[in-house]
Amino acid sequence: MSAVPDFALDPNAVLQDTDAAWRHGAPPGYSNTRKVFEESKQTNHESGSLEAIVIANIVKNWEIEASFKPSVSDWRTVDPEKYSFSMNGGEPRPAEHMLKVGTYNAILTESNFYSPANNDFESSHKTFKRMMPTFAWEVLEVYSGPPKVAFKWRHWGVMKNDYVGYNEKKQKVRVKAHGGLIDIQGVTVATVNDGLKVEKLETWFDPLAMFKQVSKDSDVIVEEDSV
């Protein structure tokens, strides 16, 4: 295997890419998310769990690039010639698809709470970042090593503000913040090359898991105004 790249060793490696084009003109801040991760993670991978540490760093850097680098040519975590992303056995999509619709729209489905078709890249990120200012991520278990790494993950945050989004009927949906934990888990198979660049991401999870927890203790209000 080639020398281990920085994005497999440091979860914030790509934030140092000052020559890259960034969606908002500069690298985003992840200090609060990393703080929440350290304070509330469920796992502590020992030195013998190198695969878990490496894949966690790769995915964290990939998420930064997918969310904030608008040009695939600036993505260091993937092989742009081979890279694809798929959800729940669906059609593999190239990086350009996620850049167009946004990371949330790429993984969520049409429902009474939310509609990828009725929320664009910017509005989708505004909806979920407003509701959960930090959304930490960790690897729980690793089932196989490179080149095909299968692992279980956890994505979590606190619902600090109201959820506001547009559903499949183009209606505005509002759920009052309950201040509780939103905890989502799933499984991903990441195919990586010799340089640990991602060639394929295949993910499985319940797209409604977040909304089930968002609305658990709150009234769901459907407002009249629509997109």
Q: How confident is the model over 110-132, as pLDDT tens digits?
A: 999 999 999 999 999 999 999 99
Q: What is the pLDDT of residues 189-222, one digit of tens each?
A: 999 999 999 999 999 999 999 999 999 867 788 8
Helix/strand/coil (H/E/C) assignment for every residue in the chain = CCCCCHHHCCCCHHHHCCCCCCCCCCCCCCHHHHHHHHHHCCCCCCCCCHHHHHHHHHHHHHHHHHHHCCCHHHCCCECCCCCEEEECCCCCECHHHHHHHCHHHHHCCCCCCCCHHHCCHHHHHHHHHHHCCCCEEEEEEECCCCCEEEEEEEEEEECCCCEEEECCCCEEEEECCCCCEEEEEEEEEEEECCCCCEEEEEEECCCCHHHHHHCCCCCEEEEEEEC
Is the preceding peptide bond at 28 cis, omega within 30 degrees of 0?
no
Structure confidence at residue 48 as a pLDDT band (50, 70, 90): low
Q: What pLDDT does 47 receive?
A: 57
Instruction: Provide the whole-model pTM.
Output: 0.92
Q: What is the pLDDT of residues 52-90, one digit of tens each?
A: 888 999 999 999 999 999 999 999 999 999 999 999 999
Taken in order 119, 120, 123, 124, the sign of the CA dihedral is positive
Sheet order of strands, 220-226 included: 163-166, 171-175, 220-226
pLDDT at residue 227 greater than cutoff 80 = no
pLDDT at residue 3 greater than cutoff 90 = no
Q: For residue 70, give the nearest of 17, 137, 115 by alpha carbon.
A: 17
> In this structure, are residues 51 and 43 in contact, taking their beta carbons and an 8 Å threshold?
no
Q: What is the pLDDT of residues 136-183, one digit of tens each?
A: 999 999 999 899 999 999 999 999 999 999 999 999 999 999 999 999
Q: What is the pLDDT of residues 15-40, one digit of tens each?
A: 999 999 999 999 999 999 999 999 99
Number of residues in the chain: 227
User: Rounded CA gap, 172 and 86, in Å?
Assistant: 28
